[in-house]
Structure 1
């Protein structure tokens, strides 16, 4: 299911220490009381690992006489007393993750060590190569109904694109009406008629203002007649543009509505 990013639930910034920083932390000789959780976990895990490796090394200290005695006891008792080396438990793994309090404690510890020792240890050199882990966004699943609707629309668009690509090579399929020459000529005639009507209406309005008003009220000055013709022509032009734009918008919406009904059916 598709998901989208939500708010950050845990804003804690974490760091995965580099090998240099990890070795430095595990070699610290400090009391475990009061340590930050990340530093405490790394030091404790390091000590447990060293202890298990030491016990495993001692378990291999068997000489030839001990092995002969084990075989002799097996023959006498009829049991398998072969010594099996205990394997270290690898399931318990502590993540090498440090938080801001761990890094702050480590920085303060480095400052105190540099004050007491001649050999300086710089904090920026320790964290070099470490990986910064930014807090991830919460993944919120999308609404199943919205996902289904988007999937249906995506399939419909892909089918429409496929039909448009293959309509020229499919002799059985009927061509779309808008692809025929008659449809194109009809649309062009409609546009030409609308433009012609616009020109005739504007010219008639100008003629009415320039000549018609003079016929009704008597002789007028030429400039005044010209001004009246321009005023009437502008009024009729604005009205014609409004109705022309409205008609064009209806013509554009009608094919989209018909396509939508066809897809839903």
Structure 2
């Protein structure tokens, strides 16, 4: 969290001897703290180029309070012209190698589980459980019904619609038989 201000040239000139704050007759401690803060240079490797004069917010609050109590014509916003809030660079701690290894292991496990879930119904169905043969009749019947109902927009006669549906159902049935033979051939070849 920010707790410092990078003093602009206006604030530096105001605090310097002969500056605007000299007329305000600042309390000795406040003036000494301001001068000490402005003389001290902070070497910053972050967004600040070179060195910067850092003034704490507490010191700025004290200055503001003093100027308000005296009803000064010198306003804080004018003094802080050109100043910036100092945000130090956040240094991330190095990650624990054990934790990184554990996270990688968990990511791999989750990826494997997701892959298994996605591909669980992609594999060939087991012939012993009636998977392909029982679906063959359903697929042929579905192809027949779909073609019969869809052909009503093309053919007006009932015979043409039935003939088109039989042709499509036969093609689907033959294609399914071909795939089933290739799968059984592949499974028998692996044994």
> Would you say same fold, with TM above 0.5?
no
Bigger RCO (CA 8 Å, 6+ sep): 1
Return the index of the structure with the highest Cα Rg.
1
TM bracket, shorter-chain basis: 0.3 to 0.5
State TM-score, norm by structure 1. 0.30
State TM-score, norm by structure 2. 0.39
